Amino acid sequence: MKEPIQVTRSSMPAYEEYIEEIRDLWDSHWLTNMGSKHNRLRDDLIRYLKVPNLMLFANGHLALESAISAFKLTGEVITTPFTFASTTHAIVRNGLTPVFCDIDPETYTIDADKIEALITERTSAIIPVHLYGNICEVDKIQKIAEKYKLKVIYDAAHAFGTTLNGIGVGNFGDAAMFSFHATKVFHTIEGGAITFSKEELAHKLYGLMNFGIRNQIVVNEIGSNAKMNEFQAAMGLCNLKHIEEEIQKRKRIYERYYDRLSGRKGIRLMKLTEGTKTNYGYFPVVFEEKELGYNREQVYEALARENIYARKYFYPLTSDFECYRERFDSSLTPVARYIAERVLTLPLYADLEPELVDRICSLALNP
Ligand code: T4K
């Protein structure tokens, strides 16, 4: 049996490089709670992402929950249902009501033209997702937010290192959350960050991330524990050294898929928002049965028979999750539903062999 090919595979620095990076932890015995590697990674990421402020977290989800909490939002939040569980859960776990906006049929990000109609007197924020390394229509979203005095928090879990017309994606909105999970273009095993425009937010976020502890006797925030530890930060320091090579390798795979699958009737490929420089994080393909005579499930099965595991990111829509039964109506977001029922994200990682890309494409075209 051949080794299974999964949708992604974590990139690793050389073993020796990581060992070298963690060696001094055996001298210092300082393993977590804002250690020196944590601080070094934070400063390096501020430079790499070209953002004014950044705070590291134990994972992307806790970062997003903390960002939402930091803005003291109330009532309703406009968001997308075509995303990973985390986005919607983070809103609900903050006691807020998600109001689902449909997505753009070509970029798969929130349809900015449909946001305004969903605003009520209870709306306090918009939480869009820079999905698959594509960037939302940030200017339109900002204008709406300013008109109605709403906060904008981007879920940028997929968007590490992407830019829009040369501007780092972490600069848009009031805050943005990045995931550094093992499956991401840049990872710290588990990990995440919040980037934000107003420096004052740092104090609040710090409290939320570290039990609200200000000093040994003052605890003034009902915070959580969401600190990044030194082993995570060490992995990040190593991976950051190789990030350009990682993105270039992914680009080659992405372009190979693109060459082989573009221009085919019934096969829809994601359109990047104008001005977007992506990180080649995901390769989503929408299979339209009417034109093709076969569907997404058949492609999924054909690949699985050859031990290749594409994923249905993101099906079902979060609004259709069992835990939200009877609470939302996904027929109100028909484009998101259409895409979710037909999308497959194909295997994509730095060292995926080109011959495998060719094999996957031929199965996608003839399952
Ligand atoms: N917002 C969005 C839009 C997100 O996509 C995510 C995470 C978040 C927020 C929350 O960020 P974090 O709290 O996770 O930092 C995976 C990831 O676990 C998750 O981080 C990611 N999105 C999501 C899109 O994908 P699963 O449930 O599909 O993971 P799993 O375990 O099935 O792994 C997928 C494949 O990755 C495996 O088949 C093989 C490969 N893999 C996996 C692991 C765990 C590796 O190569 N190495 C590994 O260590 O969620």
Question: Taking 70 as the threshold, does the pLDDT of residue 306 lie above it?
Answer: yes
Integer Cα distance of 346 and 77 in angstroms: 31
Q: Is the CB of 8 under 6 A from ligand 1?
A: yes
Whether 141 shows a pLDDT value over 70: the answer reads yes
Tens digits of residue pLDDT in 99-139: 999 999 999 999 999 999 999 999 999 999 999 999 999 99
pLDDT at 1: 56
Q: Is 155 in the pocket of ligand 1 (CB under 6 A)?
A: yes
| Range 243-248 average pLDDT | 98
Is the distance from CB of 297 to CB of 67 less than 8 angstroms? no
285 CA to centre of own chain: 18
State mean pLDDT over 318-345: 97
For residue 245, what are its two tokens? 């090579």
User: Is 135 a pocket residue for ligand 1 (Cβ < 6 Å)?
Assistant: no
Tell me which H or E stretch contains 268.
strand 267-269
User: Once rounded to an integer, what is the mean pLDDT over residues 14-19?
Assistant: 98
How confident is the prediction for the chain on average, in pLDDT?
A: 97
φ, ψ (nearest 5 deg) of residue 109: -90, 170
Angle at 182 between CA 199 and CA 233, to 5 degrees: 50
Task: Find, among 230, 227, 307, 320, the residue nearest to 29 by Cα.
Answer: 230
- Cα 361 to averaged position of ligand 1 atoms, centre (Å): 23
Give me the mean pLDDT over the 58-66 stretch. Answer: 98
Tell me, letter by letter, the H, E, C secondary structure of 204-217: HHHHHHECCECCCC
Q: With bands split at pLDDT 50, 70 and 90, how would you rate the model's confidence at 2? A: confident
Length of the chain, in residues = 367
Question: Where does the pLDDT of residue 354 fall: very low under 50, low under 70, confident under 90, or very high at 90 and above?
Answer: very high
Q: What is the mean pLDDT of residues 211-238?
A: 97
Q: 174 alpha carbon to ligand 1 midpoint, in Å? A: 25
Q: Report how far ligand 1's centroid is from the alpha carbon of 263 (Å).
A: 30
Question: Would you say the CB of residue 193 lies under 6 angstroms from ligand 1?
Answer: no
CA–centroid distance, 188 to ligand 1, in Å, is 13
Across the range 68-90, mean pLDDT stands at 98
Query: What residue spans of the chain are helical by DSSP H?
Result: 15-22, 25-28, 36-49, 60-70, 85-93, 138-148, 201-209, 230-241, 243-261, 289-292, 296-305, 334-340, 354-365
- The residue behind tokens 């992995």 is 235
Contact 238, 17 (CB under 8 A): yes
